[in-house]
Chain A
């Protein structure tokens, strides 16, 4: 009895890491799809390249004085993944995108001719970027070792997070947190002196990808 020649086709499957930018983009899409409102049950097709399906509505766009260094720093310290980079003929990075966790952000070098300036040129930043990570202490250690200036060490806050604030070497301010619980606002109020907490409307924020206009 002869063996079946078709048996020679059997594959022993090995994992193959896909292109890391593809993997990072897909991760964001999966995370966003998981967190969509439940009744919005779309089936995403990969042939859809509508950018609204791949990002959230509000995305920080950072200007840094040394974009190449910043891309490396956010990769090493935050575990962010670079997904695209536009390098200009003059050597400046005109646009780059990174994903971190379930979010993405953009950055570029300085373009003073377009009124795009880094915190270092402006002498500070009025914006804090809030980043949730699995282990704030580990991120803190890496950040400080890589030149960040932190306002103290991570500590447990009454609102249900272990938190630390820091300025990265490019002048951007980050509040890095790991959730530790989910107290109600009433619980938080009970432990908060000097502030009165009021809550806005809660509930359905709509099912569209795009924010609705306040009429």
Chain B
């Protein structure tokens, strides 16, 4: 099975890459949604989306990095869909403290990673997507803007709002340092 990975035929390349790449794609998605069933759904969307791209001949080189790029979009699609389907009220966005937010950007705290991940789960899709791309994926703002289809300026503003929303949720979670003082 191993061997010829770049035959020049993207269809053959995609199938040849599958066995190795599926763990990378699944690992990427699982680390960001932490739910096996969702991770499987999104992983399937990634590969079947990749098939669509290959069939439309819009891809040159079939690589794992390319698949991760698709995974970013599919994960964001998933969050948006989930938000639409559940018609979940975005309690955070309605929180008046976010809009004013004085002092919110001077935040010096050692984040508890698990609590932080729970907080991400409670954000709206656009905030979650922005923070995931910028901080979990460590993408530059321009790259985040590119994935989200926004201007850099709009993305910077979105990130500011997302950070504030995150902080509100984070600090309201049980177990954060503010709430476990004796």
Q: Contacting A16 at CB < 8 Å: which of B14, B15, B23, B52?
A: B23
Q: Which of B109-147 contact A (CB under 8 A)?
A: 109-111, 113, 116, 131, 134-138
Tell me, yes or no, whether A146 is within 8 Å of chain B by CB: no
What's the Cα separation between A14 and B29 when bound, in Å?
11
Let me know if B109 and A5 touch, CB within 8 A: yes
Tell me whether A33 and B48 are in contact in the complex, defined as CB-CB below 8 angstroms, given that A13-B24, A46-B40 are known contacts.
yes
For the residues of B in contact with A, the DSSP-based class is helix
Flag if B113 contacts A8 (CB, 8 Å).
Answer: yes
Number of residues on chain B facing chain A (CB within 8 A): 48
Given contacts A18-B26, A46-B41, contact A30 B47 (CB under 8 A): yes
- Which residues from chain A contact B48 at a C-beta distance below 8 Å? 29-30, 33, 43-44, 46
Contact check, B116 vs A33: say whether CB atoms are below 8 A apart. Answer: no
For chain B residues 25-40, which have a beta carbon within 8 Å of chain A?
Answer: 26-28, 30-32, 36, 39-40
Q: Does B19 contact A (CB under 8 A)?
A: yes
Most chain B CB within 10 A, of A7, A13, A36, A46, is at A46
- Across the interface, do A16 and B40 meet the contact criterion of CB distance under 8 Å? no
Residues of B within 8 A of A34 (CB): 11, 14-15, 51, 54-55
Q: Find B22's partner among A18, A45, A134 (CB 8 Å cutoff).
A: A18
Report the bound CA distance from A79 to B2 in whole Å: 13
| A6, B28: Cβ atoms closer than 8 Å | no
Q: Is A129 an interface residue (CB 8 A)?
A: no
Asked if B108 and A43 make an inter-chain contact with CB atoms under 8 angstroms apart, the answer reads: no
Interface residues on chain A, size class: 35 or more
Closest A residue by C-beta to B12? A34
Q: Mark A1-45, 1 if CB is under 8 A from B, else 0.
A: 010011111110111111100110011011101101010010111
Given known contacts A2-B108, A18-B39, A38-B55, A11 and B31 CB-to-CB distance under 8 angstroms: yes
The docked-state distance in angstroms from the alpha carbon of A26 to that of B39 is: 13
A15 to B27, CA, bound (A): 5
Contact with A along B33-63 (1 / 0, CB 8 A): 0001001111111011111101110000000
Known: A5-B108, A34-B11. A16 touches B30 (CB 8 A): yes
Closest to A23 in B: B22
Would A41 and B52 count as touching, CB distance under 8 A?
Answer: yes
CB atoms of B27 and A13 under 8 A apart: yes
A-B contact pairs, 11 of them (CB 8 A): A6-B163, A8-B111, A9-B136, A14-B27, A18-B26, A30-B14, A30-B18, A30-B47, A41-B56, A46-B42, A46-B45
Report which B residues bind A (CB closer than 8 A): 1, 11, 14-15, 18-19, 22-24, 26-28, 30-32, 36, 39-45, 47-52, 54-56, 106-111, 113, 116, 131, 134-138, 163, 166
Could you list 6 further interchain pairs (A-B, Cβ under 8 angstroms) beyond the known A8-B116, A10-B138, A23-B26?
A6-B131, A8-B111, A9-B131, A10-B136, A16-B26, A27-B22
